[in-house]
Amino acid sequence: MGQTITVVDGISVGTPGTATVAISGAVTPAWVDCTGSAKSTCTEVWNGGSLSLTIGQKTYTTSFGEGATASSVASALVSAMNTALSPVSATLSGDTITIQSTLNGTGTDYPLSVSYSYNTSFFTHPAFTATLSGANLTGGTN
Predicted local confidence at residue 121, as pLDDT: 87
Predicted local confidence at residue 11, as pLDDT: 54
Domains recognised in the chain with CATH numbers: 21-132 (2.60.40)
Sign of CA dihedral 65, 69, 72, 73: positive
Predicted local confidence at residue 35, as pLDDT: 65
pLDDT at 10 over 70: no
Percent pLDDT > 90 in the chain is 70
Predicted local confidence at residue 64, as pLDDT: 95
Span 56-111, pLDDT tens digits: 999 999 999 999 999 999 999 999 999 988 999 999 999 999 999 999 999 999 99
The 3-state DSSP class for residue 19 equals strand
Span 12-44, pLDDT tens digits: 578 999 999 999 999 888 877 676 666 567 778
Distance CA 21, CA 70 (A): 11
* pTM of the predicted protein model: 0.83
18-25/96-101 β-pairing: antiparallel
Distance CA 63, CA 118 (A): 9
Predicted local confidence at residue 21, as pLDDT: 97
> Which runs of consecutive H residues, i.e. helices, occur in 1-142?
70-81
Percent pLDDT > 70 in the chain is 89
